[in-house]
Amino acid sequence: MGTEASASPEHFTKIKGTDLIQEKAKESDVDKVSRLKERQSSCGLEVDCSYGVLQAKIVEGELELTPQTQENEKHILTLQTVHFATDEMDHQEMTVEPAEGMHVMVQQGESGLQSLLVLQQDINVESELNEIPHQNLHHCVAISIQEEVFSLHELEVMEINVVEESVEISSEEDKLTVNPPLDENTESVKDEGKDIYRAEDEVPQLCEEREITDQKEGLFTFDKLREGEKEEIILLPANSEIEEHEDIPSSEQDTDEVSGTAKNQAKTKDVKQTFHCEICIFTSSKISCFNRHMKTHSDEKPHMCHLCLKAFRTVTLLRNHVNTHTGTRPYKCSDCDMAFVTSGELVRHRRYKHTHEKPFKCTMCKYASVEASKLKRHIRSHTGERPFHCCLCNYASKDTYKLKRHMRTHSGEKPYECYVCHARFTQSGTMKIHILQKHSENVPKHQCPHCATVIARKSDLRVHLRNLHSYKAAEMKCRYCTDVFHERYALIQHQKTHRNEKRFKCDDCSYACKQERHMRVHKRTHTGEKPFTCLSCNKCFRQKQLLNVHFKKYHDKNFIPTVYECPKCGKGFSRWNNMRKHSELCEVIRGKAVQSAKGRKTKKKKQKGPKQDVKEEVEQMPIEDISNVNIERHTNEIVPVGYGIATDVAEEQKTEVTCEMILNMMDK
DNA sequence: GCAAATACCGCCCTCTGCTGGAGTATG
DNA sequence: ACATACTCCAGCAGAGGGCGGTATTTGC
| Residue A500: per-residue pLDDT | 58
| Protein residue closest to C6, using CA and C1' | A464
A454 CA: nearest nucleotide by C1': C7
Instruction: Give, as ranges, the nucleotides of chain B with any atom within 7 Å of a protein CB.
Output: 1-20, 27
A325 CA: nearest nucleotide by C1': C21
A432 CA: nearest nucleotide by C1': B14
| Residue A115: per-residue pLDDT | 30
A418 CA: nearest nucleotide by C1': C10
Q: Is A187 helix (H, G, I), strand (E, B) or coil?
A: helix
Q: CB closer than 7 A to strand B: which residues?
A: A 314-316, 319, 342-344, 347-348, 371-373, 376, 399-401, 404, 427-430, 432-433, 458-460, 462-463, 496, 499
Supply the DSSP string of A189-210, one letter for each residue: HHTS-SS-EE--S-HHHHHHHH
| Residue A511: per-residue pLDDT | 67
| Protein residue closest to C23, using CA and C1' | A317
What is the rounded average pLDDT of the residues A510-535?
Answer: 69
| Residue A503: per-residue pLDDT | 59
C-alpha torsion angle, residues A401, A407, A413, A414 (rounded to 10): 50
A212 CA: nearest nucleotide by C1': B9
**Length of chain A measured in residues:** 668
Residue A355 has pLDDT above 80, yes or no: yes
Give the C-alpha separation, A465 to A456, whole Å: 14
- At residue A268, φ and ψ (nearest 5 deg) are -115, 125
Å separating the CA of residue A460 from the C1' of nucleotide B21: 14
Instruction: Give, as ranges, the nucleotides of chain C with any atom within 7 Å of a protein CB.
Output: 6-26
User: For residue A112, which of A89, A95, A132 has the smallest C-alpha distance?
Assistant: A89
| Protein residue closest to B7, using CA and C1' | A372
Å separating the CA of residue A418 from the C1' of nucleotide B23: 22
Å separating the CA of residue A430 from the C1' of nucleotide C9: 10
Question: Are the C-beta atoms of A362 and A353 separated by less than 8 Å?
Answer: no
What is the rounded average pLDDT of the residues A520-547?
Answer: 74
Å separating the CA of residue A455 from the C1' of nucleotide B20: 18
A373 CA: nearest nucleotide by C1': B8
Å separating the CA of residue A372 from the C1' of nucleotide B5: 14
Residue A46 has pLDDT above 60, yes or no: no
Q: Classify residue A76 as exposed, middle or buried by CB count within 10 Å of its CB (0-12, 13-18, 19+).
A: buried
| Residue A633: per-residue pLDDT | 32
Q: Write out pLDDT tens, residues A165-224.
A: 222 223 332 322 223 322 333 333 333 332 322 323 322 332 233 333 333 333 222 233
Give Cβ neighbours of residue A385 (< 8 Å, ≥ 6 apart). A398
What is the 3 state secondary structure string of A132-159?
Answer: CCCCCCEEEEEEEECHHHHHHHHCCEEE
Give the C-alpha separation, A409 to A121, whole Å: 44
Question: Are the C-beta atoms of A139 and A120 separated by less than 8 Å?
Answer: yes
Compute chain A's Rg from CA coordinates: 49
Question: Are the C-beta atoms of A140 and A185 separated by less than 8 Å?
Answer: yes
Å separating the CA of residue A9 from the C1' of nucleotide B17: 67
Å separating the CA of residue A416 from the C1' of nucleotide B22: 22
Question: Are the C-beta atoms of A215 and A237 separated by less than 8 Å?
Answer: yes
What is the rounded average pLDDT of the residues A224-252?
Answer: 31
| Protein residue closest to C5, using CA and C1' | A467
- With both helix axes pointing from N to C terminus, report the angle between A488-497 and A458-468 in degrees, rounded to the nearest 10: 70
Partnered with residue A654 across adjacent β-strands are: A632
Give the C-alpha separation, A505 to A527, whole Å: 16
Beta strands A93-96 and A540-541: pairing type?
unpaired
Å separating the CA of residue A424 from the C1' of nucleotide C7: 23
At A159, which helix (H) or strand (E)? strand A157-160
Question: Are the C-beta atoms of A387 and A379 separated by less than 8 Å?
Answer: no
| Residue A125: per-residue pLDDT | 31
What is the rounded average pLDDT of the residues A11-24?
Answer: 26
Give Cβ neighbours of residue A462 (< 8 Å, ≥ 6 apart). none
| Protein residue closest to C21, using CA and C1' | A321
| Residue A420: per-residue pLDDT | 84
Give the C-alpha separation, A176 to A10, whole Å: 8
Please say whether the dihedral angle defined by the alpha carbons of residues A291, A292, A293 and A295, taken in this order, is positive or negative.
positive
Å separating the CA of residue A458 from the C1' of nucleotide C9: 13
Å separating the CA of residue A288 from the C1' of nucleotide B1: 13
Class (C level, CATH) for A528-585:
alpha beta
| Residue A400: per-residue pLDDT | 86
Question: Are the C-beta atoms of A121 and A167 separated by less than 8 Å?
Answer: no
- The DSSP 8-state label assigned to residue A137 in this structure reads S
Binned at pLDDT 50, 70 and 90, residue A100 comes out as very low
Residue A16 has pLDDT above 60, yes or no: no
| Protein residue closest to C11, using CA and C1' | A426
Å separating the CA of residue A332 from the C1' of nucleotide C17: 20
Question: 0.85 exceeded by the pTM?
Answer: no
Give the C-alpha separation, A549 to A637, whole Å: 9
User: For residue A625, which of A595, A603, A657 has the smallest C-alpha distance?
Assistant: A657
Å separating the CA of residue A589 from the C1' of nucleotide C24: 109
Q: Write out pLDDT tens, residues A560-570.
A: 666 667 777 77
What is the rounded average pLDDT of the residues A256-274?
Answer: 44
Share of chain A above pLDDT 90, in %: 0
| Protein residue closest to B9, using CA and C1' | A373
Beta strands A34-35 and A104-107: pairing type?
parallel
Binned at pLDDT 50, 70 and 90, residue A588 comes out as low
Name the more confident of A358 and A209: A358
| Protein residue closest to C10, using CA and C1' | A430
Å separating the CA of residue A122 from the C1' of nucleotide B5: 39
| Residue A247: per-residue pLDDT | 33
- The DSSP 8-state label assigned to residue A238 in this structure reads -
| Residue A252: per-residue pLDDT | 34
Residue A383 has pLDDT above 80, yes or no: yes
User: For residue A103, which of A43, A50, A44 has the smallest C-alpha distance?
Assistant: A50
Per the prediction, chain A carries an average pLDDT of: 53
Binned at pLDDT 50, 70 and 90, residue A251 comes out as very low
At A246, which helix (H) or strand (E)? helix A242-247
Partnered with residue A101 across adjacent β-strands are: none
Residue A344 has pLDDT above 80, yes or no: yes
Q: In Å, how far are A27, A332, A421, A629 from A16, measured between CA atoms?
A: 16, 44, 67, 109
Å separating the CA of residue A329 from the C1' of nucleotide C28: 24
| Residue A310: per-residue pLDDT | 79
| Protein residue closest to B2, using CA and C1' | A316
A463 CA: nearest nucleotide by C1': B18
Binned at pLDDT 50, 70 and 90, residue A517 comes out as low
| Protein residue closest to C18, using CA and C1' | A352
A400 CA: nearest nucleotide by C1': B10
Å separating the CA of residue A405 from the C1' of nucleotide B19: 18
Å separating the CA of residue A438 from the C1' of nucleotide C21: 39
| Protein residue closest to C26, using CA and C1' | A289
The one-letter amino acid at A306:
H
Tell me the range of A84-98, A182-196, A202-216, A322-336 where mean pLDDT is highest: A322-336
| Residue A514: per-residue pLDDT | 58
Give the C-alpha separation, A146 to A223, whole Å: 22
Name the more confident of A526 and A423: A423
Q: In Å, how far are A346, A524, A590, A660 from A668, measured between CA atoms?
A: 84, 19, 46, 12
Q: Write out pLDDT tens, residues A117-171.
A: 333 333 333 333 333 233 332 333 323 232 222 222 322 222 232 322 222 223 3
| Protein residue closest to C8, using CA and C1' | A456
A330 CA: nearest nucleotide by C1': B3
Question: Are the C-beta atoms of A123 and A53 separated by less than 8 Å?
Answer: no
Question: Are the C-beta atoms of A417 and A424 separated by less than 8 Å?
Answer: yes
Which alpha helices (H) appear in A310-439, and where do they start and end? 315-326, 343-350, 372-383, 400-411, 428-439
Q: Classify residue A378 as exposed, middle or buried by CB count within 10 Å of its CB (0-12, 13-18, 19+).
A: middle
Å separating the CA of residue A295 from the C1' of nucleotide B1: 14
Tell me the range of A106-110, A369-373, A488-492 where mean pLDDT is highest: A369-373
Question: Are the C-beta atoms of A654 and A632 separated by less than 8 Å?
Answer: yes
What is the 3 state secondary structure string of A72-97?
Answer: CCCEEEEEEEEECCHHHHHCCEEEEC
- At residue A306, φ and ψ (nearest 5 deg) are -75, -10
What is the rounded average pLDDT of the residues A466-472?
Answer: 77
